[in-house]
Structure 1
Amino acid sequence: MGEVRATARLRNFLDVGLAERGQGNLAAIPTSTLDCLVDTGAVMVLLPEDEVGKLGLLKGGRVIVTYADDRKEELPTARGLEVEILGRTMVTDCVVGPPLCEPLIGQLVLEQLDLVVDCGRKTLTPRPESPNLPLLKLK
């Protein structure tokens, strides 16, 4: 089984909101386009500290993460990350990893953007039942 990767466009949602209200230039907002590992075992997005700084994300809280080898580590989080994958956009928090670490896309993004991981084909696609927009259940 190989790894699945996705290209994500990342921005600071606070900057986007201010620009949309006329308090900045939308084209001048720092944007990162990263090749991310899609990690179905992860919950949140993990971004390198240098990318979080480049985007100017707000400081969040702290979380304890568990690695695949069962090590645990306390890491900071950042708030207000806008994530766009395959034309679908959401705003979320992210875990801040060490500089230059591999960026990860976790389950929260996959669920909210209604994306399906096909490990056999090593692809990430919109769910077939919702090719145009995310289809979310509310009960």
Structure 2
Amino acid sequence: MGLTYVTVKLTALSENGEQIQSYEDNFLVDTGATDTVTPSDKLQAAGIKPVGKMVFELAKGRLQEYQYGLTRIEFIGEITAGRVVFGPPGCEPLLGVTALESVGILVDPVNKTLRRLPAIPLKFLSR
């Protein structure tokens, strides 16, 4: 698949859920990344704060610990919230599959586009 970019807006949330600041940029859609990754300096400037650390496996197999935060994520007319990884300053912003799938968007590798599902799967046991 060719490279696909989308404009993404990450917004910091206050403790009571009010919007504070945001960061907007073109993000590479990365189906190999679970989480969204953004340069740490951009997240800090937008008021997004780290809430924890995790070890991530990088593309070449190396393990690396990064901080992550929680943020509102907006792209192509959809809104979700989720984890964003504090990447190295200057790194390319990546939109991971968790954010895509949470709003019902899949990558269509044949047509090299993003495709909306007609409905988001929500399966549960009925009684």
TM-score when scaled to structure 2? Answer: 0.86
The 3 A distance-change label for structure 1 pair 104 and 118 is same
* Uncovered stretches (5+) of structure 1, i.e. residues with no partner: 20-28
* Aligned residue pairs, count: 124
1:79-112, Cα deviation, whole Å (9 max, x unpaired): 2x11111111011121110111111111211111
RMSD of Structure 2 on Structure 1 (CA): 1.9
Q: Structure 1, residues 35-68: CA drift from partner, whole Å, max 9, x if none?
A: 1111111111111111111111122111111112
More strand by share: 2
State whether residues 112 and 136 of structure 1, in contact with CA within 8 Å, keep that contact through their aligned partners in structure 2: no
Structure 2: distance between partners of 1:77 and 1:46: 9
Query: 2-side partners of 1:91 and 1:60: how far apart?
Result: 14
Residues 88, 76 of structure 1: alpha-carbon distance in 2 compared, 3 angstrom cutoff: same
Q: Identify the range of structure 1 (110-119 vs 7-16) with the bigger mean alpha-carbon deviation.
A: 7-16
Task: Measure the CA separation in 2 of the matches of 1:50 and 1:122.
Answer: 31
Equivalent position of 1:23 in the other structure: none
Greater helix content: 1
| Aligned residue identity for 1:50 | D
For the 8 Å contact 1:13–1:91, the answer to whether it is kept is no
2:12 matched residue in structure 1 = 12
Corresponding residue to 1:65 among 35, 41, 56: 56
1:120/1:3 CA distance change after superposition, 3 Å: farther
Unaligned runs of 5+ in 2: none
